[in-house]
Amino acid sequence: MPLLEVRNLTVAFDTARGPFRAVEHLDISVNAGEVLAIVGESGSGKSVAMLATMGLLPDTARVTADVMRFDGRDLLTMSAHDRRAISGREVAMIFQEPVASLNPCFTVGFQIIETLRRHTPLNARQRHARAIELLEAVGIPEPQARMTSFPHQMSGGQCQRVMIAIAMACNPRLLIADEPTTALDVTIQKQILDLLLDLQVRHQMAMVLITHDMGVVAETADRVVVQYQGHKMEEADVLSLFEHPQNPYTRALLSALPENATGGRLPHVDVAAWMAEA
């Protein structure tokens, strides 16, 4: 049984021109302990699908699905209260802009402790000790001293580490990382990806990595879902995807990578024309 199972997910937003379907008939499953990469260009619905699963979309979104289960528990019929107990504890999420994800008015220590207070029975002293432990686990030097730092006193990479510490606070079984390194420099990106992969194996945690970067997919994923305009184009294990891409869209995307250019020119990827044909 997959840890997360979503079948026939459709997310529609009401717009002035009628409903817009950001995700249509999407099936996604994540097994315990695996890294699933969801890759797609902007507007492919890769973030929306996961936000819908987390219950984090605004009320204007209409989310329908045949099945939406986490660890066998039905997320669709569950009360909001029960669902909140899962979000943040068993399923955690980190986002693209680490500096914007943290509250600028509170110390990072406070923000880690806040999660522990909400989701664990630890007392104040234990929470403080655990927060320091978490900062250390995500590679923040001098964690004790950093507890009283504000987000603006830290770099983007360090803020993302703090976000990861908050996400890891309750040992989640599934971590959803939405473009976690897109705003970061490439050397920092490598550090953060290495950290995430290390935590993932160490805690036997499942991870969904949402990204637009095929290189990041190749360096991190076990399995890959390729999305385009709300639809799943292809699903494959990572090696098959890069060695034998099946779907024309996947092939077109891979051919558009500068490193795959034959001669001086990049191929013209006319996605719209291809979609019209298909």
Which one among 268, 276, 277, 278 touches other proteins, defined by CB under 8 A? Answer: 268
Please report whether residue 216 would count as binding other proteins according to CB under 8 A: yes
> What x-and-dash track marks residues 89-118 binding other proteins by CB under 8 A?
------------------------------
- CA gap 81, 65 in Å, rounded: 20
- By the 10 Å C-beta count (0-12 exposed, 13-18 middle, 19+ buried), 16 is classed as exposed
- DSSP H or E run through 61: strand 61-64
Stretch that binds other proteins, among 2-10, 21-29, 85-93, 262-270 (CB under 8 A): 262-270
Smaller CB separation from other proteins, 130 or 251: 251
Query: Distance of CA 260 to CAs 115, 182, 214, 265, Å?
Result: 44, 22, 12, 10
- CA gap 28, 9 in Å, rounded: 9
> What x-and-dash track marks residues 136-175 binding other proteins by CB under 8 A?
----------------------------------------
> What x-and-dash track marks residues 230-259 binding other proteins by CB under 8 A?
--------xx--xx--------xxx-xxxx
> What x-and-dash track marks residues 25-64 binding other proteins by CB under 8 A?
--------x-------xx----------------------
Query: Distance of CA 80 to CAs 55, 56, 75, 76, 83, Å?
Result: 9, 11, 9, 10, 5
Q: Give the burial string for 121-149 (b: 16+ CB within 10 Å, else e).
A: eeeeeebbebbbebbebbbbeebeebbeb
Phi, psi angle pair for 229, to nearest 5°: 45, 50
Query: Are the beta carbons of 68 and 55 closer than 8 angstroms?
Result: no
Which one among 222, 247, 248, 251 touches other proteins, defined by CB under 8 A? Answer: 222
Please report whether residue 80 would count as binding other proteins according to CB under 8 A: no
Please report whether residue 187 would count as binding other proteins according to CB under 8 A: yes
List residues near other proteins by CB under 8 A.
Answer: 33, 41-42, 185-190, 193, 197, 201, 204, 212-216, 218-219, 222, 238-239, 242-243, 252-254, 256-259, 261, 264-269, 271
